Each structure stands twice: as C-alpha cells, then as structure tokens.
Amino acid sequence: MSSETTVPTIPVVDISPLFGNDAEKITAVDQAIGTACKESGAFLATGIPKPVCPDPEQTEKLLAFYNLPIEMRQSLGTRRLNPDSSRDYRGYYASLKGGWAHNEMYDIGPDYEVTVPDLPHAEQLIETNAWPSEEPENGWQSEMETYYNHMHDFSQKLMRSIIRYLGANEEVGAARFENSNSTLRLLNYPELPDGLVIGEQENASREFGGETYRVMAIEHKDQCCLSLLWQSNAGGLQMQSPSGEWQAIPNVPDSISIHLGMTMESMSGKVLEATPHRVLGKSHIARQSIGFFFEPNPHGSTRPFTKESVEPATPVEETYAAKLLETFAEREARREEKEA
C-alpha cells in the first residue's frame, strides 16, 4: 500500500532459533516475540524453515479449492449458508452479499479424535471434515492435512515461547493444547462490487496512510489463542496495536503474520491483548489468504497460566469449549437482532 506518508508496519522477528537447540538464542527470541506481542499486538515471523513455511506452489495448490464449481463448494456449506445443512463448524461459508466481510471461507480441523465437555451444542465443535467429492488437484486433500500438521507444530513452538516469556510453567501451559481443536481456513476475497454494504455502510471505506481503501473485512478480534496468517501479494491485512495505531502487514517472502486472539488475552492474564484486525483493498483487486487458528483442547482451561506444576481442575464454564459456544451464541443473537 503506497502512500504519501509513512505507513507503520508490525515488528519482524526471525524465529529460526525456535527450531534449534541454542538455549541463549531461544531465550532471545522468546523475549523478542513477547515484546512484539505486548507492544504491537502482532509480529511478522521470518526464518521459518521448510517445509513449515508455505511456498508459492503449495499455497496455489491449497487455494485451488476456489477453482471448484460453486455448486461443489456449496455442497460443503454450513448451516449459516444452507439452513438444511447438518454442519455448523467445519465446511464452507460465503459472505458475498454484505455483512461483516466480503469473502468465502473453507475450514477443516484435525484428523485425530477430539472430545468435548458435557455442554449443550458442544458436539458441533468436533464435526468431521467436509471434503469435496472431487479434488481440485491431485493430492490436494493430503496437502491440506500436511499443511495443517505443519502449522500445528509451528503453533506449539510459538505458544511455548510465549508461555516462557510470561514466566509460567511451560509444560503445564502447553498441555492445554494437547489434542488441540485448531482450525485451518482457506479465504477468498473476490473483487468488491459497487454498492456493497459492509458493516451497515454502503461502499464502506477507511483512510490509511493518506489513501482511501474499501473495507473487505471490518475490524474484529479472533476467539482463538494465536492466528497465523499468510496473504497473497494483493496484501490488505492490517492489525491495530495496543496504542490504537493501525499497522500494515507487509508482503515479505517466506513469512507469516502472527496475532493474538481473545483466549490468549485471557490466558496471559491480560498481559497480552487480543489483536483487532481488518482487511482493506481497492474495488477491482481480489485477494486470498490462508489462516491457521491455534486453539486449545475443548477441555482446556482459559484461565491465566501459572507457575504451578499441576493444573487445577477446570470448571466446565471456564473451558475453551464453553467460551467458544458463548461467542457463537452472542454472534447468533446479533444476527437475529439485525434481521428483526
């Protein structure tokens, strides 16, 4: 995003020591990651080794999902898209007629068994993955599962780093993410049509860096702990620092932007704040993105990490599943209120 004024960007952290054994370098990276999260709310991770860091060939293959006929994508639709669907959590959804964003998304979860607490509607959180009847490319499903596993392993390293920065018990904190119920999401943002209403505003726009941009996704926070985001060369992703300043996510080769969700804010005892973010663009520019949302086990505690060597029993109302279901209920209530 060029402009006549200086455009602030998020910190860049070389995280390669996290994949090695040099304790001194790992401690330095822990401090760099924690400081970036605390002061800026996000950072751009570089130095990610292959095959963890997605390359152009891999991202193109994953996003080939959007080359499938629309009818095939819609056959994987969740109930928000198709009221007759049996799916609530995993599958395809599109918001192309206005609302909070102008995009399509396709979600998958882990291929291992995950259980949930005894809560109403909690079973929706562990739906099996909805795969298309035909692959967009040979080996596509396998590539999706491989990318999921790589991002999950990478997220665990990042989470351990943040736990160490917070001075909490690393092993006890990391145990909350065993059998994680994380989400891999493919995002497609088609060109913005004229007259589209986003956030109740026709042709919604924002000023940034001396220029005016159309809104592709309004300001929001994620529910998860960590969001790992790759974006296409079209760019457009922005995050807001704790000071209130909006920062652009630059397009740096072999990098992934990391920001914090509301559950991370809770687990850090609000030492770290959830990162507001948005997507801006121009009317005739499409973009794509791949997000990995690192989430705890549904039974995992959302209370602040501690230095204790044993995790106390977690009340069901303070589990990640309970907090996620609360968010879903609030979202549905807002939707019904708007429709009414």
Amino acid at 148: Y
The answer on pLDDT for 267 being more than 80 is yes
The answer on pLDDT for 337 being more than 70 is yes
pLDDT at 4: 37
Best CA proximity match to 65, nearest among 116, 112, 128, 108: 108
The answer on pLDDT for 15 being more than 60 is yes
The answer on pLDDT for 306 being more than 50 is yes
Coil/strand/helix, residue 186: strand
Best CA proximity match to 278, nearest among 203, 200, 208, 226: 208
The answer on pLDDT for 31 being more than 60 is yes
pLDDT at 3: 37
**pLDDT averaged over every residue in the chain:** 92
Q: Give the C-alpha separation, 267 to 58, whole Å.
A: 33
Instruction: Point out which residues pair with 110 in neighbouring strands.
Output: none
Q: Got the DSSP string for 85-120?
A: -S-SSSEEEEE-SSBSB-EEEEEE--SS-----S-T
Residue 329 structure tokens: 């209920």
Q: Count the Cβ atoms, other than its own, within 10 Å of residue 287.
A: 21
Identify the residue whose tokens are 């999706």. 144
pLDDT band at 339, cuts 50/70/90? Answer: low
The answer on pLDDT for 303 being more than 50 is yes
The answer on pLDDT for 20 being more than 90 is yes
Q: How does pLDDT run across 60-105, given as a tens digit for each residue?
A: 999 999 999 999 999 999 998 988 999 989 999 999 988 889 999 9
Mean pLDDT confidence for 266-287: 94
Which CATH homologous superfamily contains domain 12-339?
Answer: B-lactam Antibiotic, Isopenicillin N Synthase; Chain (2.60.120.330)
Amino acid at 232: S
The answer on pLDDT for 55 being more than 90 is no
pLDDT at 129: 96
Q: Give the C-alpha separation, 334 to 331, whole Å.
A: 5
- Domain residue ranges of the chain, discontinuous segments joined by +: 12-339
Residue 89 structure tokens: 């959590």
- For the chain, percent of residues with pLDDT exceeding 70: 97
Q: How does pLDDT run across 139-163, given as a tens digit for each residue?
A: 999 999 999 999 999 999 999 999 9
pLDDT at 333: 81
pLDDT at 1: 40
pLDDT at 18: 97
Best CA proximity match to 196, nearest among 220, 211, 214: 214
186 and 76 in contact (C-beta within 8 Å)?
Answer: no
Q: How does pLDDT run across 194-249, given as a tens digit for each residue?
A: 999 998 899 999 999 899 999 999 999 999 999 999 999 999 999 998 888 899 99
Mean pLDDT confidence for 175-182: 95
